[in-house]
Chain A
Amino acid sequence: MISHRQANAQRIAALDERAEALHLKRGMGIADARAMHPSIDVVEADPETDRRLLESLADWCDRYTPLVAIDAADGLYLDVTGCTHLFGGERAMLDDILSRFFHQGFDVRAGLAATPGAAWAAARFSGDRIVPGGEEEALLAPLPLAALRIEPDIRASLESVGLRTAGAVMAAPRAPLARRFGRSLLLRLDQALGRLDEAVSPRLPVAPLSVERHLAEPIMLTDEIERLVKMLATTLKADLERRGEGARRLALLLFRVDGAVSRIAVGTSRPLREPLLIQKLFHERLAALEQDIDAGYGFDLVRLSVLSAAAFDMQQADLTGETRDDSADIALFADRIRARLGDSAVLKPVAVESHLPERAVAMLPYAEAPQRVSAPKQPDKIQDTSRPVLRPERPIRLFRSPEPIEVPATEMPEGPPLNFRWRRALYRVARAEGPERIAPEWWREAAGQEATRDYFRIEDSDGRRYWLYRQGLYGASQAAPRWFMHGVFA
């Protein structure tokens, strides 16, 4: 028996068959129930866990149809339109669902009808029933008002005027019903009877393409999964070619025999349709996830879906039949690294218009970085035309966050330090150049708090060159200026 707190009292939220046999009911106070049967076992409700369980069941139901929606706290909608023939008809499919759930240890009721409302009512009130199209009225008529999915207060007021079954409501004139009980009653009624369409919003976006394979014998080994991925990708290739597309995101769904579903997604930086390459990507991903995927008793259904696709531009082969595209190689390489080490494993610098050194280069993941379309310019042309005569020197390495250094003394108040202490070591400044003043960008928010920086190029007594800056000005601000190490020169 499960209790939950409702209206400041512990009440029964759910109970099993044996508790029902003791004439306990939902909504009864725990104190009353204990008074009747002191030996009952009460467990606190955990809606979060229940939800997660329901979601994992929904994942598992993905094997029947990609359109799975969660209904309130205890139901699932499966839109099986066009899927039933894959499982040998409606009856066979329903039996398959029920028996598999039963073997997983769930007590499930199911109904199958042409409308979500009728299926809901069939599942909850008449149990394991298939309602042929057009017979929704016959199904609903004898059922209580609760089968109409209407709010409790509407139900109470309907009952108070003597309309106790759905059939009675259907027989009543529509206009007074709408006037008295609101539009939602008629809406629910029409939806259940199929006069109005009702959309069930699926949990996951439906993949434009997916291929799957049911396996008679569950597979457990990574090699077998990879081989299967290649077979599925080969099937997928024909579909992608027909659509003139390539996959940008792919997901591999592994349905375990006992109901757990593993979902493995890989992204590509350019549209892809070659089965071998797809297999390679999943090879890396599976290698990275080796610890996380528990094959258990094996997977009995493997599905490969294309989550998003993009137009695939064909490559023209040259006369020798070879296409030499280095950037494609690099894209594939980046994808493989990304599949194994995460999205930001391969970074590409992108120049940003900014004076602040740390903002002037943005590091973007390879797949998101803009790809250069035109051929790269020749370096000598750049030197001749667009290069400004004098450009400030920039370090070759920049610390992600400038490191504070101790500067005991400077030669002049505004000048470079004579020596400094960085990471506990003392450095003597042999030569210095500067300052180069970089003010915060006033057009950005939060620039007001930042202080002006004066950068110095420093060469220490051993010849190493550093980039230091003094934050703030002497005498200008209340606090003494602070010194930071920001970069290293070659």
Chain B
Amino acid sequence: MTPLDSSAALWNLLEHNRNNCEWKLTVMATSAVARETVFALRRQIAKIEGTLPERLQAPAGAAPVDAPQDPTADVTPKNIPPKNLTIVRRGLAVAPPDAFVRTGAEGLDTALGGGLPKAALSEIHGAATRDAGAVAGFALSLVSLILKQGPRLPVLWIGTAEIFREAGFPYATGLHRLFGIEPEQLLFSEAPRLLDALWTAEEAARMTALAAVILEIRGSPQRLDLTATRRLHARAQSAGRPVFLLRQAGEPEPTAAPVRLVLSAAPSAPRQTIAGPLAGSIGRPAFTVSIGKSRTALPGQFTLEWNPDERSFEERRAGERRQERAANPVPVVSASRRGKDPAPASGAVLAFAAVGSPAAGDQPSPGERAAHRRPRRAG
């Protein structure tokens, strides 16, 4: 065991200071000697952390940031940044472009520096157990993206008995319809104890015969510490397969995972029909993804929508959904919930017409609206 291994404190320090310190160091280290020192330190850090490539951007506002499609692009001469910036790639190896799972959502991919690392442990958090659907859905859509490109290998989903009881067992039929993962490709492992689940995950993480490993844990157990996650990360790195650590209702803790995303469900857009959006309907699943931790990205929030037919993500811009709704305020086809009642026109309209005078014809006064057309009371 190296001294660095044993000192969790140093790791914590790295963890907490990563996002802030690097920028400052990069920009401030102007003298050659200081820069050399910084590079030496960087190399050492990269050695400890593995050789995840990194693209450091200029601090916000310094210059327009280039957003290369290819993570290797910024080393080519034409992309050399202005002299007042120092862009440093940490890590000794240059990663091939397929080292990332590209989500397809431009904003998120750019923020993450090309996507989620493919050969690594990635944490996906949900704030509460009730977010289990969004957390699992996002992880599975990433798996679906991997399967779409790569060979059709099985996927192993490991969970403790507790999480499967609290959040529900993955349902193969639903997974097939939404993510195109066939039941034959799915393997589940339910461990009675966390220790067994971790052991299973460690054994699975080193297998190249699996497309991805999903480990689902509830809460913030003591066992799932820096050492345990580092073991998982190292195995994932050597096997070249992703391990997704889903943590329901867990606190963000220092772990070895290079990326942590915090997931929550986003209201879905209405269903698209030939005649336009169908009001009151529940369309494609949508997620709100915030970057909780990343070596390259600043914290950010993105809303993604999963397209089950294309098996791809679409990024939803802020306010896009509202505009859509405003453009088509009237339901074109009656939805089941706010179904148009065919009856009320006959008796009620006549009776009210005799008593009052409906203003401007098309808008009855609030008192005259049929009960079922009244804006719904909340609660």
Interface residues of A (CB under 8 A from B): 326-327, 329-330, 333-334, 336-337, 340-341, 344-351, 357, 360-361, 363, 366, 372, 376, 379, 391, 393-400, 411, 415-416, 418-419, 425-426, 428, 430-435, 457, 459, 461-466, 487-490
Contact = CB atoms under 8 A, between A and B. Distances in A.
A347 B268 contact: no
Contacts of A431: 280-282, 337
A411 B337 contact: yes
B174 A487 contact: yes
Interface in B182-202: 182-192, 196, 199-200
Contacts of B92: none
A490 B183 contact: no
B268 A341 contact: no
Interface in B227-252: none
A101 to B, nearest CB: 41
B119 interface: no
A415 B338 CA distance: 10
A395 B167 CA distance: 12
A350 B176 CA distance: 12
A411 to B, nearest CB: 7
A363 B286 CA distance: 29
A394 B173 contact: yes
B140 interface: yes
Interface string B255-288: 0000000001111100000000000111001111
17 contacts: A329-B208, A334-B187, A345-B189, A348-B188, A349-B186, A361-B172, A376-B152, A419-B379, A428-B378, A457-B282, A462-B265, A463-B264, A487-B168, A487-B174, A489-B137, A490-B136, A490-B140
Contacts of B204: 333
Interface stretch (B46-54, B55-63, B125-133): B125-133
Contacts of B280: 431-432
Contacts of A350: 183
A418 B376 CA distance: 9
B200 A345 contact: yes
A395 B174 contact: yes
B101 interface: no
Nearest to B278: A433
B188 A398 contact: no
Interface size grouping (class) on chain B: 35 or more
Contacts of B167: 397, 488
Given A333-B207, A366-B187, A463-B267, A398 B174 contact: yes
Contacts of B130: 425, 464, 488
B154 interface: yes
B309 to A, nearest CB: 8
Interface string B10-37: 0000000000000000000000000000
Given A329-B209, A376-B152, A428-B379, A396 B186 contact: no
Contact of A397 (B153, B169, B179, B185): B169
A488 B132 CA distance: 8
B178 interface: yes
Nearest to A361: B172
A345 B191 contact: yes
Nearest to B211: A326
A340 B199 contact: yes
Contacts of B172: 349, 351, 361
Contacts of A463: 264-268, 286, 288
Contact of B171 (A336, A395, A425): A395
Contacts of A351: 172-173, 183
B298 interface: no
B207 A337 contact: no
